[in-house]
DNA sequence: GCCAACGTTGGC
DNA sequence: GCCAACGTTGGC
């Protein structure tokens, strides 16, 4: 099966590419949106991820990560007291799933949203068309185009 | 900090 | 099953 490409958003001041670099890998917990969850369930080990910072100016792709563990139930949904606790989720049929991702690279040059929007080859990116989805599929051509911009 | 766009909830 | 009300995300 061919490798797939994705984009995952993180609030820059909550968990940045620098945090991922320091930790090496992380559980992508706390996603509570069905479309985003469904996308994570489609991820396969080795898929590559554009790491995107929202809530910075400008928001931007700042790095690359890799899927290193395929989807499994998000433990925070069963952890009463955790901010992501979901009392409606049944342990025998978990509602929320996540993947583990590993740090690959921090981009020397971030690719800002205005630049992405200005690139006609990227006008169909989910990021441009539905700005709120936090885990999105990315076409290989789009992935390559973003990295080409990062590398000048 | 504001608010538009979007997703979810719940009353009917 | 519709849709108004509400909450959240994220660009600006």
Residues A114-135: tens digit of each pLDDT: 999 999 999 999 999 887 999 9
Task: For the sheet with A60-73, list strands across it.
Answer: A25-27, A97-112, A60-73, A48-54, A5-11, A135-138
Amino acid A1: pLDDT? 67
What pLDDT digit, counting tens, does each position of A47-71 carry?
999 999 999 999 999 999 999 999 9
CATH code for residues A5-150:
3.10.590.10
Nucleotide nearest to A35 (CA to C1'): B7
pLDDT for residue A62: 97
Q: Spell out the residues 6+ positions from residue A70 whose beta carbon is closer than 8 angstroms to its own.
A: A43, A44, A45, A99
Residues, CB < 7 Å to strand B:
A 33-35, 130, 132-133
Domain regions of chain A by residue span: 5-150
**Each residue of A55-111: pLDDT tens digit?**
999 999 999 999 999 999 999 999 988 889 998 888 888 999 999 999 999 999 999
Token pair belonging to A138: 């990315």
pTM: 0.94
């Amino acid at each position: 099966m061919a490798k797939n490409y994705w984009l995952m958003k993180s609030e820059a001041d909550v968990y940045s590419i620098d945090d991922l670099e320091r930790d090496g890998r992380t559980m992508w917990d706390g996603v509570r949106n069905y479309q985003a969850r469904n996308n994570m369930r489609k991820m396969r080990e080795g898929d590559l991820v554009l790491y995107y910072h929202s809530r910075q100016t400008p928001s931007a792709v700042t790095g690359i990560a890799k899927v290193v563990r395929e989807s499994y139930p998000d433990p925070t949904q069963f952890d009463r007291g955790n901010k992501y606790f979901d009392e409606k989720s049944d342990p025998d049929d978990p509602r929320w799933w996540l993947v583990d991702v590993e740090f690959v690279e921090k981009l020397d040059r971030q690719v800002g949203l205005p630049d992405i929007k200005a690139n006609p080859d990227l006008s169909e990116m989910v990021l441009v068309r539905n700005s709120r989805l936090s885990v999105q599929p990315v076409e290989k051509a789009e992935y390559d185009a973003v990295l080409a911009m990062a590398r000048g």
